[in-house]
Structure 1
């Protein structure tokens, strides 16, 4: 009990860590001795502290445990405290519906306890009255007996006895007066508690009304059509439910440091004052400027007690007969955009702390939707410019098509024309690629079909390695064009039947760079030119033209390199006959991980050995045994 009391004392002093320490020690002792009342009381106190510390999960577990034990032992005092603590927990977590429900349970148990105490007091008073009547009757009987026995000489003693009896009667009446007065005090306390409960219920109801209005306002802005009408309706609703006399919305004017009143709502008892103080300058109200830019809510309970540093702002409020006010900043994209004020012209201390969070939520909602309005305005403006540009471009394209190809009819819709242009552009690109391939094959007939076969094998390897979409198309395109640079090599060297000398071989080795120079100016979606540039590079640095090593070589280029080696070995050349497919695959196995990428080689071997891959226009020559 001592440890528990120490924990409660530290809890009241706000030293939560010490309080929790003592309460947890006392809980262990209470559990050992089996005192269920003490265990339940300690659980409830621990849950109250954890609610204040925002440890909501632990708080709820302790509170429900304490409440369950309280219910099991039928302790109304502990049930009352438990219901109140859980109501405070739900209030802290923002669950107002459950908070209100548990507050009702708390009030019901509290009323039961008060009624029981009142009944006990009444019973005590009735017993007192009964005892009084009995004592009075006894006193009267004693008086009569004494009077009858008194003699003339005993009258003095009789008067003394009567005086004593009178004093006793007066004392009894005094006692009864005290008990009745005590009863009245208890009744007064009950009336005060009932009044407090009604006030608390009123606050909860008022808070729920504000929450409902804020939720309604948020929903309104989701499907907004008329922004100004929505703002006016929202100002009217929040003004009425917050019981303000006036709600004003100020926004920072464009290209100015002044605040401009854009919307205002007045209660029916006040005249419209929209034109009064329509513009405010931050330079005249530095205290207001500082608070708003710090993002603080300015809560003025009584304008008469504002500090000297807010003198100019105080004068502004008093000139408008404002007695109390709440001013909440509005932000756009993290910057101050203005503020919304709730003013009471009739009473001080109009709003409590519980109201401020909901009023701030309303201000944040207004801020968000002003930001949304700004974005929508920009989007509309952008759409207008885009539509104008599309129309201009459509006309330009229509004129160009009319000049270039008279037989094509004008397109009815700009979108169809753009789609057709894209299709033609893609087709032109494919035709250009095919033309470049044909140019190379015309100059080097021995490699006819080589580029397409390399493209086919490269695509199958890339597909097996997980390449998709544009990346897969880029590998195929690069593979088709990988020898495009050979158009700069004289055809006599390309078709020479004998072995090339060093000079001729060095000239052949320039074709990857030549291909890169041809393709780098074409706006491919992927690095096609770079893949062509690197398709003869090898992992150990023995390749050309840059002598790249390992991961310096694009994976796409490593794929094309492997496919190029396979097709080059099995194809007929002017200086040698074609080799068997087993020779080509053996070359890959022997140099996997040194010259060629090991993963690419493994997939290539799998395609030929396990998936029966073969080029359509080549029948593989088997090695003679």
Structure 2
């Protein structure tokens, strides 16, 4: 029927319907623009935080100070301040030094004037730092009642404590000079992460510098053999030692060592069996290099030493005595322990960032709260059941927490919609795999996190999205995530349906084995849940 055959009422209804469609298109366009801007801002924050945590973990100690300068500029510009600076306390805690500074356009640097400042001269508003608290002041002139001078007082400041093992090392300062500024919680959280990363990096530098110094000292001793020289008999006595050997153990002279230590294994070695092991190695091999053990000093304290020694044989081939030298490596051992703790601290920082990103997404979608955590748990259990290496399982854990990060661009009203979603809404949701990949692809991680993120909705028969990959085109980690994701989603409540239960989820995976899901992964999953009775909360 053409328009001439329609009634006036029909034409009016069609006009109304057309206007509604136009209005819907306008709303959709506005929502799209908002989503794109939100995605852009979020992506910038994610890149900044993840790149910061990852890059600082791989910087050499010689590059750390330069890296701090670079990040001070990047973060300063990102949060919109005019000056960012780092202060470090002296070893005795009496003075503070301005060690790093970045200034915006037109801002005079103050770093030369901020050296060896007595702690007692610090302004009173900085006092919360001593309680390891953030100082957040949006109207500084109101507090200090002054704002004058060539380098006028900042309008707003924020100070972040630098804490290592509950000890205050210093603080970061960020100053807004041209205008007053209110610091959001997200900005404060970002700056805390920056402070934690700087602290870990500085401690790693100190530890590595100490370690290199100790190792260099040890190499010199090894090359020239001029310190801690000894000769010992088969019945556990010293024949001779040099003055350096005596000083290492806290004795006044070599003679005092020879007169005092009459049984090496019982009086000198913290673990007497260690000396018997050393003698056995010397008898078997003829020499030992870098044998590490603990000694008692004269005052009863303990030190770590590294021993280079050889068995000296007589004309009959029998061992006559042992000789070699000791090197005190106590500092190196402590440095190694500190370095281990620093690496663990960096890992915790990365883990905290991953958890924070996952939590940010879940806060937008309360109906799937805990989904990433449960998927990560299930995926890791399946991977362990498959016998994958520990390092690969750690990567799968990170992938589980971040696999749905792309949903941050999906409007919250779609994520939590109680009824059936329409085709347009489903199209938006499906884009989250690609968006997640775009967010993560530029971040250097030791695992293929971005690839697993874009592939976790692929199916081995090619029916998945977004690329329609098949079989071996899909990486193993994504195949594991696919099973874990479906299992958790079906067994959990969703706004558009009640939970289907674990049994129904396992039935779905069993039926689609070899079609949607990798058979090896499915078999491991079924062994885990059916044969071994694994359950999660």
Whichever structure has more helix as a proportion of its residues is 1
Q: State the TM-score, normalized to the length of structure 2.
A: 0.40
Which has the higher Rg, Structure 1 or Structure 2? 1
Where is the strand percentage greater, Structure 1 or Structure 2? 2
What TM-score do the two structures reach when normalised by structure 1?
0.34
